[in-house]
Chain A
Amino acid sequence: MADITVAEPFPIFAVANKYILYDINTVTYIRRVHHICGVLIGNIPQAAQQNVFSGIPLELIPEEARLLVERGSAYIVDDVASHRRGLTDLSAAERIAFVSVLEKQGLEAALAQKRKADKKREKHFEKAGGKARKRGPDREDTELESASASYAVSRAASVVPNDSDVQPLCITPTTSYPPLSAPKPTTALLPPASPSYDLFAHLHSKDYFLSPGLRFGCQYLAYPGDPLRFHSHFLANGVAWDQEISLLNIVAGGRLGTGVKKGYLVGGKDDSRDEVRVFCFEWAAM
């Protein structure tokens, strides 16, 4: 597969405190270049059997979005505000142009639909005619059959699609850009840093791929490479430097981690020395 490159900074759309990417190129690009996988959340509610694998959009956790913004690779777009602003700011000419584009699309869709229906009908008549001809003359209803067949053939021939009386379909636009023009990059919006963000950034800087860790009762799962190729190494939990950790939690985490062949990792930032320190716990088997 060709390496897809996306112009940076690219927009990350914030909707209701969720950070969403809609463009498949951006999704593959950040996975390859920035080691950020996110979670694909798109599915088809009316075809549940097809939901084994989810598709776009991709939801980023706030830490991932923040990391991309801090790297200067992305910027946050407040999607609701930019829609409201973009739609009210649309000039009359732009509005008319957009509506006419929609109408054109609707007409094309209606024509395509009509052609398809005509083709289907034609095919059906041809089939019916052919069937009638194949039957031998010894049949009792030969005359009737051949009469109806010839009628079908003549009728099929007479159907000529008349495009002028087609009503355009009403199109619901599936993209916002266009009609809106892409918002300008801004550094004004930065996803909030959770207390575990320092650990997230530290592990990410050590080339670990991080994914949400709820399935293993932790904050992040740390993979030594792409999650499609590797098992995760660590169940990671970020804590503040002086935050109290119950030893029962460490024993529980260490035991769970060892049970699934992973290390239980706890880390956080020592603000006085501005460094992140992590500790790994493993059952000592004794």
Chain B
Amino acid sequence: MALASDVPTPSALESTLRAQSQTRTLHDVRLHHLALQVLHNLQHQHRWTRLTTHTFSPLTGAPLPRPLISGLPPARLYVHPDEQIELLKVEAERKRKGEEDRADGGGKEDVFGAPEREWVLPTHLMEKWSLRQFAEVFDAITVAPLDEEAGEGRELKGNKWRTTKRVVMATVQDDSTVVYYLVHNGIVKPRQN
């Protein structure tokens, strides 16, 4: 019929959701879809890689309060202000040495080192959260997500500055806008941008 052909083709997001939608999910199917939508946004808008959804706590093995995502951002997402000071010092030292022997050429590697895997907490703007809910999420996760592709050993030689648990809170609006905020478990002094 004419009407049927008027229905627009599904969006990329819609197709993803349909393709990955499961009839039986551990969590509420809406939370499951929320995670998929955030994962889609991370993958295609922010070029994150090695994205995985987690439904069980890597610490306790119990089901998570809601599905979480872990992934690798294209660049370092968070540098602690104290680490930043140290890295900048090292960089200044390197530059000073580089001035002395220019034959080296000097690599253009990022001052802030390789990107680190992050936990992502998908939320919707209409939700109400409480301290208890945030505490439950933090109690269920590790300091840094395990990188399954790189093997277990990778976790061990983590950044020595990464001592406090953190998640990237992804908040989805009804119009599919996603905003990302870093949430630290405890008192962590702010970055001086």
Contacts and interface: CB of A to CB of B under 8 A. Distances in A.
Partners in one complex: yes
B190 A233 contact: yes
A284 B129 CA distance: 19
Given A261-B192, A286-B73, A281 B182 contact: yes
Which size bracket describes the interface of A in this complex? Answer: 35 or more
A254 interface: yes
B108 interface: no
Contacts, number: 105
Nearest to B137: A279
A277 B135 contact: yes
A251 B125 contact: yes
Interface stretch (A109-117, A126-134, A179-187, A265-273): A265-273
B187 A286 contact: no
A278 interface: yes
A60 to B, nearest CB: 24
B46 A286 contact: yes
Contacts of A257: 190
A250 B185 contact: no
Nearest to A248: B125
- Give the secondary structure class of A's interface: mixed
A233 B191 CA distance: 9
A285 B125 CA distance: 18
A280 interface: yes
B132 A283 contact: no
Interface stretch (A78-86, A154-162, A239-247): A239-247
A11 interface: no
B24 to A, nearest CB: 28
A247 B190 contact: no
A224 B189 contact: yes
A280 B183 contact: yes
Among A239, A241, A248, A282, chain B packs the most CB atoms within 10 A around the CB of: A282
Given A239-B131, A265-B187, 12 more contacts: A233-B189, A240-B131, A242-B130, A247-B128, A267-B131, A277-B186, A278-B186, A279-B186, A280-B184, A282-B190, A284-B182, A286-B77
13 contacts: A233-B189, A233-B190, A243-B130, A244-B130, A245-B128, A247-B124, A251-B171, A257-B190, A263-B184, A279-B184, A281-B182, A283-B181, A286-B46
